[in-house]
Amino acid sequence: MKIRLYHARILTMEENRPVFPGEIWVEGDKILSVRECEPGERLKGGAGPCPEEGSEIRWDREIDCGGNLLMPGFKDAHTHSPMTFLRSYADDLPLKEWLQQKVFPMEAKLDEESIYWFGKLAVLEYVSGGITGIFDMYLRPDVMAKVAQETGIRCTLVSGLNDFTSSIEKQEEEYIHWNQAGPLIRYRLGCHAEYTCSRELLEKLAALAEKYRAPVFLHLSETKKEVRECTERYGLPPVKFLDSLGLFDYGGGGYHCIYLDQEEKEIFRKRGLYAVTNPASNLKLASGIASVTEYEKMGIPVAIGTDGAASNNCLDMFKEMFLVSGLAKYQEGDASALDAEKVLRMATVNGARAMGYADADVLAEGKLADLILIDLQKPNMQPIHNIPKNLVYSGNKSNVILTMVGGQILYSDGTYSIGSSPEEIYRECEKCLRRIL
């Protein structure tokens, strides 16, 4: 399939490359060309090639972008997709009560069919909001892999290994299998959290990381209680303890990363670990605010995730970007803290690299064709003084016109192409929910 997207503004997210007018050519699942026009040359309309080549190509489809913005899709770097089944079910509760009295008992009732349909429900929300890739941890990685392959979204699976589910042997099987399962799927080693894993299990995970020279990801330093109890058990806070076991010898990172001391931040910097911040979830559960500005100043790569719909409710990267920037400014007492363009990079480039998709980080020749089209002809995007700042501070999901993953259009102007209709997904989710309840 050869697709030409023309008459566009383009934000490639390459270093120091501002928005420019041009067009993008896609062949198969990759970007064939990113072409820059003279300023204004094609933004007035017209379907000719830009600048003068391409007329000899027989396009399968040509899309007039109408002067709107092409950019890399958002990478949601921490998700629990099937937790859509708990949206608005367990709200306004303290974290411990939320988990133990609401979340865990309901999750125990899930079956394969439920995970499948509620995972698909999440995909509807992802693609309509411009999310082209997810970093997903849940009970059945095989089911979420099936969801990703059927819907076309890009998915990096990470194990939720703990003392009660899965095993090191199972994780090794999954690691080998899913990293050979095709272009839409990657697999990262991981576990749920330090506090749900015995020392012996964590040591085995570190040995597995050593065997494959692989990064490891897990929930990390999300609450004061977690840090305090780890220190009581081992005499060290979580990051220091896990690093002492060799868990981070080959990189990886943590989800949340709110309560790191200075030495732990230095471990992150030295190891090149990713801090995946989830501001909406952390605020709603009153967990705290990650030190994103300091991480960025130290050179610690930061990515952004929504977490699951049980703790966030809305799988919306626009909301997360605004919160990352706004909370950093509040935390630092400085309105100039954490420029919007850095936040946008966290939501796209850094997330892709954390997930193992360095070939889907920016828009460039030879990269995967994972891109979105943003409607600039809406009141919240006018006037166009600075497009990246508009995206972070005033953008929302209604601005997403089109979402493409690997050259396949999964969403366009309210129409989904993910293998199931919204109506079917809603109907099946309702059936599953009635069975669970």
DSSP 169-181: HHHHHHHHHHTTS
- Same domain membership, residue 225 and residue 313: yes
Q: Which strands, in side-by-side order, build the sheet including 185-193?
A: 74-79, 131-136, 154-158, 185-193, 216-220, 252-256, 274-277, 302-304
Task: Give the pLDDT band (50/70/90) at residue 99.
Answer: confident
- Smallest Cα–Cα separation from 131: which of 340, 323, 388, 360? 360
CA distance 19 to 11: 5
Number of domains the chain is built from: 2
Residues 166 and 112 in one domain: yes
Check residue 38 and give its pLDDT: 65
Same domain, 292 and 398: no
Residue 433 lies in a domain: no
Q: Which residues pair with 74 in a beta bridge?
A: 131
The average pLDDT across 116-136 equals 98
Within a domain: residue 435? no
Do residues 331 and 381 share a domain? no
Backbone angles phi, psi at 302, to 5 degrees: -115, 130
Q: Are residues 186 and 266 in the same domain?
A: yes
Strands, E assignment, 81-222? 131-136, 154-158, 185-193, 216-220
* Mean pLDDT score, 183-193: 97
Res 304: pLDDT = 99
Q: What is the CATH number of the domain that holds 280?
A: 3.20.20.140
Structural domain contains residue 432: no
Length of the chain: 437
Is the Cβ–Cβ distance between 191 and 221 less than 8 Å? no
Domain assignment of residue 225, yes or no: yes
Backbone dihedral angles phi then psi of residue 335, each to the nearest 5 degrees: -65, -15
Confidence at 95, pLDDT banded by 50, 70, 90: confident
Q: Of 310, 343, 359, at which residue does a domain stop?
A: 359
Q: How does the average pLDDT of the chain come out, rounded?
A: 95
- Residue 52: the pLDDT is 54
Using one digit for the tens of pLDDT, what is the confidence trace for 362-371?
999 999 999 9
pLDDT band at 219 (very low <50, low <70, confident <90, very high): very high
Say whether pLDDT at 244 is over 60: yes
Residues 158, 137, single domain; the answer is yes
What percentage of residues in the chain have a pLDDT greater than 90? 92
My answer on whether omega of the bond before 51 falls inside 30° of 0, hence cis, is yes
Using an 8 Å Cβ cutoff, are 149 and 184 in contact?
A: yes
Is 406 contained in some domain? yes
Q: Is residue 189 part of a domain?
A: yes
42, pLDDT greater than 60: no
CA-to-CA distance for 348 and 362, rounded, in angstroms?
Answer: 8
Q: Is 436 part of a structural domain of the chain?
A: no
Q: What is the pTM of this model?
A: 0.96
66 in any annotated domain: yes
**Contacts with 344 (C-beta within 8 Å, 6 or more apart), sequence order:** 13, 321, 388, 391, 392
What are the tokens at 42? 């094609």
Q: Please give the biggest Cα pair distance in the chain.
A: 70
339 and 378 share one domain: no
Distance CA(49)–CA(41), nearest Å, equals 11
pLDDT at 41: 47
One domain, residues 154 and 224: yes
Give residues with Cβ within 8 angstroms of 108, minimum separation 6.
none
Query: Which CATH number do you get for residue 24?
Result: 2.30.40.10
pLDDT in tens, 259-273: 999 999 999 999 999
- Answer with the one of 315, 342, 359 that is the final residue of a domain: 359
Average the pLDDT over 173-183 and give the result: 97
DSSP 8-state code for residue 346:
I
With 60 as the cut, is the pLDDT of residue 53 above it? no
- The tokens for 126 are 């992802």
Clarify whether residues 222 and 262 are in a common domain: yes
Kindly tell me if the per-residue pLDDT of 46 is higher than 90.
no
Average pLDDT over residues 193-212: 98
Range of the domain at 30: 2-72+360-416
- The answer on 160 and 87 residing in a single domain is yes
pLDDT confidence bin for 98, thresholds 50/70/90: confident
Decide if 126 contacts 134 (C-beta within 8 A): yes
